[in-house]
Amino acid sequence: MTRADQQRLFEDLVGQLHRMTSADREVFLALQRRNKDDEDLDAPSASRLERLHATYKPPKSKKDLENIWKKIISGPIKS
């Protein structure tokens, strides 16, 4: 994992701290401390970071994004 990829994953997950379980939050904070110390993550730590990212920031499919966009442009629902 490159340093840029690692940084992007951390930036994505910072906003998800409130959703994490206490165990996942502890793992993330420990990894974040290592990142702030400019350490490169070893393979097991990198895989934990990727697992956290997949769990709390799953990729959106194009169809999901199109549905969200349709809801936004349709405006408020009138009764």
The pLDDT of 28-38, averaged and rounded, is: 92
6: burial class by Cβ within 10 Å (0-12, 13-18, 19+)? buried
The tens digit of pLDDT for each residue in 41-64 reads: 899 999 999 999 999 998 878 898
Res 4 pLDDT > 70: yes
The mean predicted confidence, pLDDT, of the chain is 89
What's the whole-number mean pLDDT along residues 8-29? 94
Rounded to whole angstroms, how far apart are CA atoms 48 and 43? Answer: 9
pLDDT at 58: 83
